[in-house]
Amino acid sequence: MRLTVLGCAGSFPGPDSACSAYLVEADGFRLLIDFGSGSLSALQRYAGLHAVDAILLTHLHCDHMLDACTYIVVRRYAPQGPLPSLPVYAPAGAHDRIAAAYSSEPEAVDDVYTFYGLQPGTFPIGPFTVTVDRVNHPVETYGVRLEWQKRVVAYSSDTAPCDALIRLAHGADLFLCEASYLDGVENPPDLHLTGREAGEIATKAGVGKLLLTHLVTAWGSEATTFEEAESAFDGPIEIVRPGARYEL
Ligand SMILES: [Zn+2]
């Protein structure tokens, strides 16, 4: 199983990174998890324009899904003819949200995407066993656990601390966890994690490696976020970068 970070900027694109998008591959199958602003560019740079067999959108905030709109052009108007419909696993309302953002005169996008509504539970996508559960964010949002041949990648999506995330990340080899906020300031509740909170969850879940993502670098500090995470988790920690690949 291979994880490639396409975009990891929190909340809005940064100077050096698109918003959230992660490509997970196994047995030749390519699952794109989130498709945030700017990440279609990164998909071409680090994988390929058509290098997607299924999409999972953890929630419908712009920085996690907006390039699913621009990608309609790629699939529908390909010079060689329309590409096969892609399965999209997403919260309820994804079709209408994508259609509305795609055009000022919304039209159906069912020719490009086949939608499957997410609900807490376990189901297969390609070779992966996928478990999703609701996490603590203002809109319907799912944390993700991906298993393939006893290897596990867990992803927080956007969330404040919650027990569901500890369960999803339990024993994960790689735990891709958001760390949007810094400690010691008045952060809005039920929205995001600090580096320390990401570290605490990693410790409670007993993960192998903590990958910090979704930092809002324009407003925060990578060094401080890293130190906060280190104060709460003894294992290896990395702040992810676009193009970073992890094999497991
Ligand atoms: Zn969000």
For 41-62, write each residue's pLDDT tens digit: 999 999 999 999 999 999 999 9
Give the CA radius of gyration of the chain.
17
In degrees and rounded to multiples of 5, residue 96 shows phi and psi of: -70, -35
Describe the crossing of helices 67-76 and 94-102 by its angle, rounded to 10 degrees. 80
Separation of CA 175 and ligand 1 centre (Å): 18
Residue 172 has pLDDT above 90, yes or no: yes
Give the residue-averaged pLDDT of 21-40.
98
For residue 238, report the distance from its CA to the centre of ligand 1, in Å: 22
Give the C-alpha separation, 228 to 209, whole Å.
Answer: 15
If pLDDT is split at 50, 70 and 90, which confidence band does 119 have?
A: very high
What local confidence, expressed as pLDDT, does residue 91 receive?
Answer: 98
The confidence band for 185, taking pLDDT boundaries of 50, 70 and 90, is confident
pLDDT in tens, 187-237: 999 999 999 999 999 999 999 999 999 999 899 999 999 999 999 999 999
Contact 139, 161 (CB under 8 A): no
**Distance in Å, CA 138 to ligand 1 centroid:** 8
Residues 192, 181: Cα–Cα separation, whole Å: 7
- The alpha carbon of 59 and the centre of ligand 1 are apart by a number of angstroms equal to 7
- 147 C-alpha vs ligand 1 centroid, how far in Å? 24
What's the 28 CA to ligand 1 centre distance in angstroms? 30
Contact criterion met (CB below 8 Å) for 198 and 212: yes
Q: How far is the CA of 80 from the centre of ligand 1 (A)?
A: 36
Is the confidence at residue 10, as pLDDT, over 90? Answer: yes
- Residue 9 Cα, ligand 1 centroid: separation in angstroms? 12
Residue 184 has pLDDT above 90, yes or no: no
The confidence score (pLDDT) of residue 102 equals 95
CA distances in angstroms from 235 to 86, 175, 177, 200, listed in the order given: 37, 11, 14, 11
Span 60-116, pLDDT tens digits: 999 999 999 999 999 999 999 999 999 999 999 999 999 999 999 989 999 999 999
* Cα distance between residue 83 and residue 240, in whole Å: 32
Q: What is the 23 CA–ligand 1 centroid distance (Å)? A: 19
Ramachandran angles phi, psi of 73, nearest 5° = -60, -45
Report residue 61 as tokens. Answer: 């905030």
Q: Give residue 184's identity as a one-letter amino acid code.
A: G
Ligand 1 midpoint to CA 135 (Å): 11
Contact between 64 and 158 (Cβ < 8 Å)? yes
Amino acid (1-letter code) at residue 217: T
